Amino acid sequence: MASEQDVRARLQRAGQEHLLRFWAELAPEPRAALLAELALLEPEALREHCRRAAEACARPHGPPPDLAARLRPLPPERVGRASRSDPETRRRWEEEGFRQISLNKVAVLLLAGGQGTRLGVTYPKGMYRVGLPSRKTLYQLQAERIRRVEQLAGERHGTRCTVPWYVMTSEFTLGPTAEFFREHNFFHLDPANVVMFEQRLLPAVTFDGKVILERKDKVAMAPDGNGGLYCALEDQKILEDMERRGVEFVHVYCVDNILVRLADPVFIGFCVLQGADCGAKVVEKAYPEEPVGVVCQVDGVPQVVEYSEISPETAQLRASDGSLLYNAGNICNHFFTRGFLKAVTREFEPLLKPHVAVKKVPYVDEEGNLVKPLKPNGIKMEKFVFDVFRFAKNFAALEVLREEEFSPLKNAEPADRDSPRTARQALLTQHYRWALRAGARFLDAHGAWLPELPSLPPNGDPPAICEISPLVSYSGEGLEVYLQGREFQSPLILDEDQARELQLQES
């Protein structure tokens, strides 16, 4: 272990000597913990991190003055549209995706380093229940979609196949996530195919470039953003693990989207047939000012431009068909080849520029009292997973329907947007649509048929509660055998047992 004298000298070189100002008050054990933490911080890298954070925070915010002239929509030939393509094209994409899955060439990678702070919980967001009748968590829904897509690919190609699940956590989420998976028997996935790894942490910094102490014996640290993925892949030898398994294509997604289709064969197949080394799912923006990043080109290079960087005038621009010119909303749902990820980790990662996140960071004041600030007081530097798009040789984007594939969980109740209520409604409404499409009819409490509404309200409960297990249907397929011509009263919970029972009744 580094000595106090060594650590003091290193901090002096970094301009951060204040981190030992409570040294005399600490007992031996906290002293040892603090020294161990500080010894991991390289002086030159720490000094540069603090300098860049303060400089970035001091720069004026808002759209760069020349950005509008450099923006262009993605070229039409690099964009597919899942809902508007002809059935034969979509079938080819899906069949190619299932073929790659059946060959064990596809993995999924979950970005799960953040905590559920905005949701008002202290545990990882994937452990959250949004109030479904089944009481399933986000993690369980995702695990069951993996199991189902493995089953579908295996049945089509007469083989057994595996979609490995890589889970990027942080110091804050690794322990609870690993324990949760063990408690739930890895949701009946083989534990050898669930690989958890940690991303790096970076010190939080004051506006004048000083590292923040969150306790007398602990530095305030934060995950380095979902773009920390690329350092973590290298640190934890994840790409080597993928190579050993024969994985060539990786579907990367965020934990909080309740509708996410893991290893989506349509998306995988689209990207493979396009020859893409990097791809993104997008949804059409709901309105010009919607606070989502836009996938577009800047200086001819694919990029995600944050909504705060696009001027209102540019956001309002329309294409010749009347749609928004910049309407490809980013939903943190990406495709990468393993070869591209290898190039990023070895060549391009140092070129990624960190983004400034101004946050409320608890700290100890000069008297050693814990302070929970009421307004932002610190800087967390983050990289974004999409920052690597500009290094792609063949970028492609697939537009999907928001109501089928995107409903994020970010805010606590009673928020109007992206809350447990809206996520629950999105999933149950989707399942209600699937049931109607499969020929089911629903009855009210008096036995009268509920009307088949041509369109359902975007933010409201469906006329009947219907939840379909991902183990029964991945994306609405195969439900006719259980539901066609049948009448149900709400709620209908179609899990594997109920599906078997309905099948027996039919036979």
Q: Is position 110 within any domain? A: yes
Q: Is position 161 within any domain? A: yes
SS3 category, 302? strand
Do 139 and 256 lie in one domain? The reply is yes
d(CA 418, CA 410): 5
Residue type, 302: P
Buried b (16+ CB within 10 A) or exposed e, 323-344: ebbbbbbbbbbbbbbbebbbbb
Q: What is the pLDDT of residue 116?
A: 82
Q: What is the pLDDT of residue 2?
A: 81
Q: Is position 58 within any domain? A: no
Cis peptide before 302 (omega within 30 of 0): no
Q: Is position 54 within any domain? A: no
- With CA atoms as reference, report the closest residue to 259 among 144, 416, 402, 146: 402
Q: Calculate the alpha carbon distances from 355 to 3, 227, 310, 352 in Å.
A: 34, 10, 16, 9
Q: Is position 383 within any domain? A: yes
Do 281 and 387 lie in one domain? The reply is yes
As given in the structure block, the two tokens for residue 127 are 């452990």
Do 360 and 220 lie in one domain? The reply is yes
d(CA 16, CA 221): 15
| 297 close to 357: Cβ distance less than 8 angstroms | no
| DSSP 8-state assignment for residue 405 | H
Do 390 and 430 lie in one domain? The reply is no
Do 391 and 485 lie in one domain? The reply is no
Do 499 and 378 lie in one domain? The reply is no
Buried b (16+ CB within 10 A) or exposed e, 130-153: bebeeebbbbbbbbbbbbbbbebb
Do 307 and 176 lie in one domain? The reply is yes
Dihedral of CA 474/476/480/483: which sign?
positive
Task: Give pLDDT tens digits for 378-392.
Answer: 999 999 999 999 999
Last residue of a domain, one of 353, 374, 404: 404
Q: How far is CA 108 from the centre of its chain?
A: 11
d(CA 295, CA 349): 20
- With CA atoms as reference, report the closest residue to 350 among 317, 383, 308: 383
Looking at the structure of the chain, the number of domains it has is: 2
Q: What is the pLDDT of residue 62?
A: 67
| Residue where the block lists tokens 């020859």 | 275
User: H helices then E strands: how many in the chain?
Assistant: 16, 24
Do 388 and 302 lie in one domain? The reply is yes
- With CA atoms as reference, report the closest residue to 440 among 473, 470, 402, 471: 473
Last residue of a domain, one of 379, 404, 429: 404
* 379: exposed, middle or buried (Cβ count in 10 Å: 0-12, 13-18, 19+): buried
SS3 category, 254? strand
d(CA 107, CA 128): 24
Domain range for 97 is 67-404
d(CA 144, CA 262): 10
Q: Are strands 249-254 and 106-111 parallel, antiparallel or unpaired?
A: parallel
| 310 close to 73: Cβ distance less than 8 angstroms | no
Do 374 and 492 lie in one domain? The reply is no
Residue type, 337: T
| 295 close to 282: Cβ distance less than 8 angstroms | yes
Q: Is position 1 within any domain? A: no
Q: Is position 34 within any domain? A: no
Do 464 and 390 lie in one domain? The reply is no
Residue 340 maps to which CATH number?
3.90.550.10
| DSSP 8-state assignment for residue 178 | H
Residue 459 maps to which CATH number?
2.10.10.100
d(CA 431, CA 41): 50
Low-confidence ranges of the chain (pLDDT < 50): none
As given in the structure block, the two tokens for residue 280 are 């993104």
Q: Is position 182 within any domain? A: yes
As given in the structure block, the two tokens for residue 206 are 């004051």
| Residue where the block lists tokens 């890589």 | 166
Q: What is the pLDDT of residue 457?
A: 65
Buried b (16+ CB within 10 A) or exposed e, 471-501: bbbbbeeebeebbeebebebebebbeeebee
SS3 category, 115? strand
Last residue of a domain, one of 357, 372, 404: 404
Do 392 and 447 lie in one domain? The reply is no
Do 156 and 260 lie in one domain? The reply is yes
Please state the φ and ψ torsions of residue 385, each to the nearest 5 degrees. Answer: -60, -30
pTM for the full predicted model: 0.94
d(CA 23, CA 4): 9
Q: Calculate the alpha carbon distances from 180 to 82, 144, 466 in Å.
A: 35, 15, 27
